[in-house]
Amino acid sequence: MQLRLLGTSHVSQQSIDEITSVITSWQPDIVAVELDVQRATGLLQEKKSKVKISDILKIGLKGWIFVKIGQFAQQKIGNMVGVAPGSEMKTALLLAKKHKLQVAFIDQPIQITLKNLSKRISWKEKFRFGSDIVKGLFRPRKQMKNLGLKNFDLRKVPEQNIIEKMMLPLKERYPSVYKTLVSDRNTYMVKALIKLMRSFPDKKILCIVGAGHKKGMEKLLLKVEIVR
Amino acid at 205: I
Share of the chain above pLDDT 90, in %: 41
| Residue 194 pLDDT level (bands cut at 50, 70, 90) | very high
| Residue 34 pLDDT level (bands cut at 50, 70, 90) | very high
| Residue 151 pLDDT level (bands cut at 50, 70, 90) | low
**Is the dihedral angle over the CA atoms 23, 25, 27, 30 positive or is it negative?**
negative
Task: Cite the DSSP H helix spans in the chain.
Answer: 13-26, 37-44, 53-59, 61-81, 87-98, 110-120, 123-138, 140-146, 160-173, 175-178, 184-199, 211-221
Distance separating alpha carbons of residues 57 and 220, to the nearest angstrom: 34
- Which range of 12-26, 62-76, 93-107, 131-145 scores highest in mean pLDDT? It is 93-107
**pLDDT score of 118:** 82
Question: What's the whole-model pTM score?
Answer: 0.78
Q: Find the mean pLDDT for residues 126-147.
A: 61
Q: Find the mean pLDDT for residues 36-55.
A: 73
Q: Do the Cβ atoms of 199 and 29 come closer than 8 Å?
A: no
**Is the dihedral angle over the CA atoms 146, 151, 154, 160 positive or is it negative?**
negative
**pLDDT score of 146:** 54
Residue 40 pLDDT greater than 80, yes or no: yes
Number of C-beta neighbours around residue 32 at 10 A: 27
**pLDDT score of 199:** 94
Main-chain dihedrals φ then ψ at residue 5, nearest 5 degrees: -100, 130
